[in-house]
Structure 1
Amino acid sequence: MTMILFTLTTFEAGQYVDFEKVVCITGDGNYSCIHLTDGQRLLVSKCLEQLEPRLPHRQFLRIHKRYLINLRFVESIFPKQIKLTDGKVYAVARRRWPSVNSYFKQKIRR
């Protein structure tokens, strides 16, 4: 059974997206780009503020005003940067770094 994120209205058509296949979501103004595990990107006309409440908060983390990442795809953490399994490195906002860093330190201790 697929966990459905929501119906996305892209420029092509409505689609269903599985949470497990979303690596990250990048925002640019009133649009967001959803990056999937197969390398596909979906451009939607919703800002991150509209998408974030619809995501499972234990699986997704806002690290920057432009980035929401899926915690299951974190490969490594650097000072103020996170590398995902797709090879891309995303900046962590200065004001979000203390809480992001603390979150991952707690995960390591468990």
Structure 2
Amino acid sequence: MKLSAVAIDDEPLALEIIKQYCTQISEIDLTQTFDNAVAGLEYINSQRPSLLVIDIDMPDINGIDLVSQLQLRPMIIFTTAYKEFALEGFELEAVDYLLKPFSFERFEKAFQKALSKYQIGNTAGDMEPIFVYSEYRMIKIDLQNIIYIESLDDYIKIHLTNSKPVMTLMSLKKIAAKLPPKKFIRIHRSYIIATDHLTSLSGRKIKLSTGFELPVSESYLPDVLTKIKPH
């Protein structure tokens, strides 16, 4: 199993070190590197890598701000020369935080944590549930029971196989960050679907296992086509 990875750092030497480290780990497929964070942001939103190794302190955009702007967030390993950024990094649920200069052994340890998280997140029976606040209580949602999620202004509506829909005050972007990208895909500014419930795509309409149809927006269509292409 290989993880597709992207590295972003404004220092060419730092990028070169990451490249060298990645060549020594057979499970990493470093698909692209960027010394320009804005270009990196566009690439990640379109290509959906599994892992992002990113420096925090960069001139064009702070690494933490960049991660916060991602439509669907991959696993994150932050790198930086400044210890004071560590807390912010972990608040974004980063897999690890590497203080420069870091050794190959330390980099490999961080990657193994990411690989372990990836393997767990992409095994349907092992997907960790999420908890949302609804109707004055915390409700446990098993991810394998989600059919699709709908955005309704400041709320989202989670449609389930085993119970009535659950409404909670949350953005679609925030809930997307909690979902394994191999199991869920955003198809529209208002919809995320579970790929296990996708039965067909006709034009710009997706049909779900329930028979319900949802629109696919033009901006998300390439992601949908990549997800359902024949293997």
TM-score, normalising length from structure 1?
A: 0.88
Structural mapping, 1:67-106, within 5 Å: 67-105=191-229
Higher relative contact order (CA 8 A, sep 6+): 1
Q: Which runs of 5+ in 1 are unaligned?
A: none
CA shift, 1:4, in A, is: 3.4
Q: 2:134 corresponds to which residue?
A: 10
Q: Write out per-residue CA displacement over residues 38-72 of structure 1, whole angstroms, 9 at most, x where no aligned residue.
A: 25100000010110000001100000000000000
Q: 2:183 corresponds to which residue?
A: 59
CA RMSD, 1 decimal = 1.6
- Tell whether the 8 Å contact from 2:127 to 2:143 is kept in structure 1 after alignment: yes
Q: Which amino acid in the other structure matches residue 49 of structure 1?
A: K
1:40 aligns with 2:138: no
Change in CA separation of 1:2 and 1:15 when aligned onto 2, cut-off 3 Å = farther
Identity %: 24
The count of residues paired between Structure 1 and Structure 2 equals 107
1:25 aligns with 2:149: yes
Q: Which runs of 5+ in 2 are unaligned?
A: 1-124
Q: Which amino acid in the other structure matches residue 54 of structure 1?
A: K
| Runs of at least 4 residues off by over 6 Å | none
Specify the SS of the correspondent of 2:228: helix
| Greater radius of gyration (CA) | 2
Structure with the higher strand share, 1 or 2: 1
Change in CA separation of 1:39 and 1:91 when aligned onto 2, cut-off 3 Å = farther
Distance 1:3 1:23 in 2: 15
CA shift, 1:88, in A, is: 0.9
